Amino acid sequence: MRPPWVSHCATTFHPMNNELTNLLPIERQRGLLHEYFLRLGVVIAVLITILTGVAALLLIPTYVFLLQSASAKMAHLASIESVLSSADEKVLSARLAVLSNDAAILIALGEARSPSALIRTLLSVPRPGVTLSSFVYTPALGEAPGTLTLFGVATTRDALRAYQLAVQGAPFTATADLPVSAYAKDTDITFSIAVTLKP
According to the model, what pLDDT value does residue 185 have? 82
Rounded distance, CA 112 to CA 82, Å?
A: 35
According to the model, what pLDDT value does residue 117 have? 80
If you ran DSSP here, which 8-state letter would residue 198 be given? Answer: P
Domain check: are 143 and 125 in the same one? Answer: yes
Residue 33's pLDDT band (boundaries 50, 70, 90)?
Answer: very high
Give a yes or no: residue 23 inside a domain. no
Domain check: are 123 and 105 in the same one? Answer: no
Residue among 175, 164, 152 at smallest CA distance from 125: 164
Contact between 176 and 195 under an 8 Å Cβ cutoff? The reply is: yes
Give a yes or no: residue 21 inside a domain. no
At which of 66, 96, 111 does a domain end? 111
Count of Cβ atoms closer than 10 Å to residue 48 Cβ: 10
If you ran DSSP here, which 8-state letter would residue 144 be given? Answer: B
b/e per residue, 181-198, with b = 16+ CB within 10 A? ebeeeeeebebebebbbe
- The answer to which of 5-19, 40-54, 77-91, 154-168 has the lowest mean pLDDT is 5-19
Domain check: are 106 and 124 in the same one? Answer: no
- Angle at which helix 26-84 crosses helix 89-111, to 10 degrees, equals 150
Q: What predicted TM-score, i.e. pTM, was given to this entire model?
A: 0.45
At which of 62, 95, 111 does a domain end? 111
- Which stretches within the chain are classed as H helix? 26-84, 89-111, 115-123, 157-168
For 131-169, write each residue's pLDDT tens digit: 888 888 888 777 888 888 889 999 888 888 888 888 888
Domain check: are 73 and 38 in the same one? Answer: yes
What is the number of structural domains in the chain? Answer: 2
Domain check: are 128 and 81 in the same one? Answer: no
CATH code for the domain in which residue 124 is found: 3.30.1360
Range of the domain at 100: 28-111
pLDDT score of 34 more than 80: yes
